[in-house]
Amino acid sequence: MNVRVASVQMDVEFNNPSANIARIVEHVHNLARRSVKLAVFPECALTGYCVSTLEEAQSICIGLDKLAPVREAAKQTGMVVVVGFAEEGCYNTAALFDTDKEPEFYRKTHLPELGYDKFVKTGDALNVFETSAGRIGILICFDVRHPEAARTLGIKGADIIAIPTNWPTGADISADNLCIARAVENKVFVITANRIGTENGYAFIGKSKLVAPNGQIMDEARGNEAKVLIADFDLELARIKRNVTVPGKHETTILESRRPELYGEIVVPKLAKHA
């Protein structure tokens, strides 16, 4: 199954969801004309992110009803759209719209002590969504620092991990390296969609990427300019969890070679202190 995908690296207007939604809807229609089936937009792309108090965090949150224009654009174009926003009730959320299906939502499960995330509730699920563009798992920004999250999505059968982000100055390791590592570790496609510009004293680094299961960068933004990345994903490459270098002589498996009986410490709620 071949799927044309896009990562939209864009600036965001703080606390102006109407303007951000209008821009995203325009992107969706433009991408549909380029035969794109799946489009991923940045973290909190509808609302902005950089707040310093609980009151400010609550002020930028929006209800799910506000997303209706994006849902309608996905329906009109037959596209799958993943977009981040500050959700009413204080969650850092990514919505997934798939043509005329009911929307799905992922709420960020790993939180840094930064901006909006200092005030939000944690999500409690790592799901893989069956869509018309393949099996999609979603992580948000800091989630990628935790290899267990991506591995869980890989085990659950994700073809693609979509990662809306707000990587600021200093997060280059995630943009340059960790997204590639997560693709290779799980033999899945990875889409990162970072934002650009500045917001309330924070600057964002861009560096969005489309990464193949072998770690190949299929398209990328090298800096923090507005850019649309596009590539064609052959999802079958994410469904064969075996690497064959020399047939019958040099082969490795991604999931079968795991040793879960040795990994107990990674699911202990509180790590023991070692002398």
Instruction: Tell me the per-residue pLDDT of 25-57, one tens digit each, with 9 for 90 and over.
Output: 999 999 999 999 999 999 999 999 999 999 999
205-217 confidence digits (pLDDT tens): 999 999 999 999 9
Confidence check: pLDDT of 244 > 80: yes
Please give the average per-residue pLDDT across 68-89, as a whole number: 98
Closest CA to 192 of 202, 205, 200: 205
Please give the average per-residue pLDDT across 9-27, as a whole number: 98
Closest CA to 21 of 71, 92, 79, 89: 71
Please give the average per-residue pLDDT across 252-269, as a whole number: 89
Confidence check: pLDDT of 264 > 50: yes
The angle that helices 179-186 and 147-155 make with each other, rounded to 10 degrees, is 30
Closest CA to 217 of 198, 243, 255, 191: 191
Please give the average per-residue pLDDT across 191-217, as a whole number: 97
pTM of the predicted model as reported, rounded to 2 decimal places: 0.95
How much is the mean pLDDT over the chain? 95
Q: Beta strands 198-199 and 202-203: pairing type?
A: antiparallel
Say which amino acid occupies 177.
N
Q: Contact at 8 Å (CB) between 25 and 8?
A: no
Separation between Cα atoms, residue 45 and residue 140, nearest integer Å: 12
In the chain, the domains with their CATH numbers are: 2-243 (3.60.110.10)
Confidence check: pLDDT of 274 > 80: no
Please give the average per-residue pLDDT across 77-102, as a whole number: 96
Q: Contact at 8 Å (CB) between 186 and 214?
A: no
Q: What is the pLDDT of residue 165?
A: 98
Share of the chain above pLDDT 70, in %: 98
Say which amino acid occupies 9.
Q
Confidence bin at 275 (pLDDT 50/70/90): very low
Confidence bin at 267 (pLDDT 50/70/90): confident
Separation between Cα atoms, residue 209 and residue 193, nearest integer Å: 7
Please give the average per-residue pLDDT across 124-132, as a whole number: 97
Alpha helices in the chain (DSSP H): 17-32, 54-60, 68-77, 147-155, 172-173, 179-186, 236-239
Catalytic residues: 43, 108, 141
Confidence bin at 271 (pLDDT 50/70/90): low
